[in-house]
Structures are given as structure tokens and as C-alpha cells.
Structure 1
Amino acid sequence: MSRESQAHEADHGQGDPGLYEYAFLAGGGRRVVECALVALIERGTLSMRAARVRTVRAEQPAHPIELALVAVCSRSRSVKDVVEVLMDCPEMDELAHRLVLDGLLHRRRRRPTRAGRRLLAAATSSRSGIPAYVLEGPTELARGPVQYGLLSAQPIPEGLGRRLLRLGRALDNSDSDATTDAGSAHSCGSGSGGGGD
């Protein structure tokens, strides 16, 4: 049995999902890292300033995800780097594997199964002691440096960059067309207005 499985059973009882399991079902590995960051900052183990995070107090957390996070943040790192490193760590793979074995997550796509979606829906409707940011993400945190740091590390949705570029070009083209049309309308208007008097 892995350390993570032992910690999971000790903290939550076998088969009873914990905070990080709900976080994975709600938002994947990124949400797990965000929740671990919040937990360790609240306990005073980590400090976040200007979207950078570092360990400020020695602690050996029981949960393997938190333990990996403390190790990664031994020196100051950007939140974005921390999220990228931990999303691909063995501890995250173990967490996902356990959810797959429990029938809550698809093996390849790492998306919740029907049972996983039902469990998540039940947790969302009952709010049984699960903080809103676990289920909904960092937008549910109080405004401040932690929320800012986590939101600044959010990736731009796929395809959004290209759409914004196209929109920018379209606006540039419409501005230049409007300027050209206004210029020609102005010259035509003044010429015809002068001829009519």
C-alpha cells in the first residue's frame, strides 16, 4: 500500500473521498494543486507574495500531495511553475489512479465517470463541509494575494489566443475601413455641398 493510500484511509476512511479527491473530480490536477496551496498557506507552511510561493515553516504533511508541494517550494517559485511541476508528479498520478480504481475517473481522459459526476453533484448541492474553492476554483476565495496568485497562474483557454488575435485584426481592419470611408465621405460631402450653393 502506498503512502498516499495509507494517508487517505487514515484521514477519510476507506472509500470516502477526501478534499483532494473532490478537487480532482471538480477541476483535475490543477485544482488539487490550488487546494494544497491554499491549505498550506492557511496553516502557515507556505507564503505567497506577488504570485510567488515558498516554504516558510518546516512541516512534514501527512498527505503526499502536500509533502511534494513543500519540497517543490523549498525556494521561491512562481505559482505557475509549481502548478506545472505538481500536475505531472507521481503523487498526482497515484491520486488519479485511486480514483480510477474507485470507478470515479476515466483512465485515459482523466475525466469524471458518471459515478464521479454524481458524487460531485451531491457534494456541490449539500456543501457537506467542502470549501467552495475546492468545487468551484480560486474565484471562490476571498480577494487578496492568494486568489490573485492562483488566478494569475490560470492558463489561457485553448484557442482563445487565436480568437483574440483574429478579433484584434478584424477591429483593426474595420477601423481602417471606417477611417477610409469617413475620409472619402467627408471629401465628397464638402465637394457636393460647395457645388450646391
Structure 2
Amino acid sequence: MAREHHQTGAGSGGEALDPYEYAYLAGGERRVVESAIISLVERGTLSLRAARLRTIGAELPQHPVERAVIAACPRSKRVQEVFEALEHCDEVDELARRLVLLGLVRNWRRRTTRAGRRRLAAAAAEGSLPPYVLEGPARLDPGPVRYGLLVDTGPDGLGRTLRRMGKALDNESDHHAADGGFSCGGGGGGAD
């Protein structure tokens, strides 16, 4: 499903904003990167499985933020590592500077201004933006993309190791309780 990034005026006049600028107004730097990942996955340029991103398409995106996402994961990389790599990248900082110049974001705290909130509300009312731009990946249907963006899996293999350790401890606890060994709770109290 190919999706074009279009400019939209969204109501209040002024310069047209692209979807990533609206994403910044709605959720800051992280929302910009989330939106770029989702768009690239939808277009078949990235694959997101088990909270890992991998470039699979030959497309060289036109938008600088999308190019930065592609550059951040030349091989299979955890989503969290991509977020960390792009946290203060030049492409997202440039997008934020443009929003500051337009008076839609405060310079020193990078918070959306009243004018920015009005532009965002107008875009939401217009309905021209994908829902994930405004509301994030929680708005996606359940599946690997939503899971990969919403769940921080920690370092590779750590989750599997911790689950295995937990199962081993559960099995050991069950074994000892069956032998009359260690158990938790359930002791008889004294009679009154």
C-alpha cells in the first residue's frame, strides 16, 4: 500500500505542513520517528518483526526523516536502538526548527504553542492525516508493527533468558512442593 506524503494547509492558513511536522506537534521527536517507521513499513521499505527493523526495499525515500530512519538500520536493528540513534538527529532537529520559525513550537522547551495546537486540531478535523500521526502506534491494528513500536524488549535475548529462568524457578518450586519440601503459604495456625 503506497502512501504519498502530501502537504496540507489544515485550516488556519500559513505555510503547509507535512505529516511529520504534524507528528511533531502531536507527540514530539518520538512520534516523528514512529510515523516514519510505520510509513516505511506500509510502503514495503522496512520490515518490523519481533521489535527489530530491517531494510527490505530499494526505495530511497524523499523525506529527510525517512532517509535518516533507513540510514539508522542498515542491518537488522532493535526498534529502541533506532529511536536512540534518531533522538536528536539533524533531520528531526531541522523539522523542529522550522516549526519554531512558524511559531508552532516554543524554541526553548520545544512544546507546541497555542497556534500549533490550533493547526493540529484543524488537521485532525480535516481528516487528511493517517491516525497514527496524531495518536501514535496505539492507533494501529494489533500486529507486529504495533507490538514492535509499543513494547520495549530490552537487550537482545534478555527477555527469552528471563522467561526461561522464571519457568525453571517455577518448575523447581513445583517439584519441591510436591516432595513436601519448600512451599509458600498455607500453614496451620494455632487453635484459639
What TM-score results when the alignment is normalised by the length of structure 2? 0.73
| d(CA) in 2 for partners of 1:142, 1:62 | 27
Please, what is the CA RMSD of the aligned residues? 2.5
What residue is the counterpart of 1:179 in the other structure? none
The question of whether the paired residues in 1 share the 8 Å contact of 2:55 and 2:73 is answered with yes
Residues 51-72 of structure 1 show CA distances to partners (whole Å, capped at 9, x for unaligned) of: 0001111221110000111111
Shift of 1:75: 0.7
Residues 1:101 and 2:101 are matched in the alignment = yes
Structure whose CA Rg is larger: 1
- Structure 2 residue 138 is the aligned partner of structure 1 residue 139: yes
Alpha-carbon distance in structure 2 between the residues aligned to 1:127 and 1:56: 33
Query: 2:29 aligns to what?
Result: 29
The equivalent residue for 1:64 is 64
* Counterparts of 1:19 and 1:154, CA distance in 2: 28
Cα distance, 1:18 vs structure 2:
1.1
Q: Which amino acid aligns with 2:59?
A: E
In structure 1, how many angstroms separate the alpha carbons of the residues matched to 2:55 and 2:137?
20
1:154/1:32 CA distance change after superposition, 3 Å: farther
Is it true that 1:12 corresponds to 2:7 in the alignment?
A: yes
Structure 1 residues 87 and 127: CA distance shift in structure 2, 3 A: farther
**2:119 paired residue number:** 119
CA deviation vs aligned residue, 1:70-116 (integer Å, no higher than 9, x gap):
11111110001101111211001100000000000011111100101
Instruction: Give yes or no for contact 2:6–2:19 (8 Å, CA) kept in 1.
Output: no
Letter in 1 for 2:150: L
Give the distance between the partners of 1:47 and 1:90, measured in 2 at CA: 24
Deviation by residue 1:22-62 (Cα, 9 ceiling, x = unmatched)? 10000001000000001111111111110000111122111
The answer for the alignment partner of 1:78 in structure 2 is 78
> C-alpha distance in 2, partners of 1:153/1:102?
34
Q: Output the TM-score relative to the length of structure 1.
A: 0.71
* C-alpha distance in structure 1 between counterparts of 2:17 and 2:118, whole Å: 13
Aligned residue type for 2:128:
G
Task: Indicate the structure with greater helix content.
Answer: 1
Which runs of 5 or more residues in structure 2 are unaligned?
Answer: 9-13, 155-185
TM-fit CA distance, 1:122 = 2.1
- Mapped to 2, the partners of 1:22 and 1:154 lie a distance apart of 28
C-alpha displacement at 1:133, in angstroms? 1.0
Could you tell me whether the CA contact under 8 Å between 2:51 and 2:153 is conserved in 1?
no
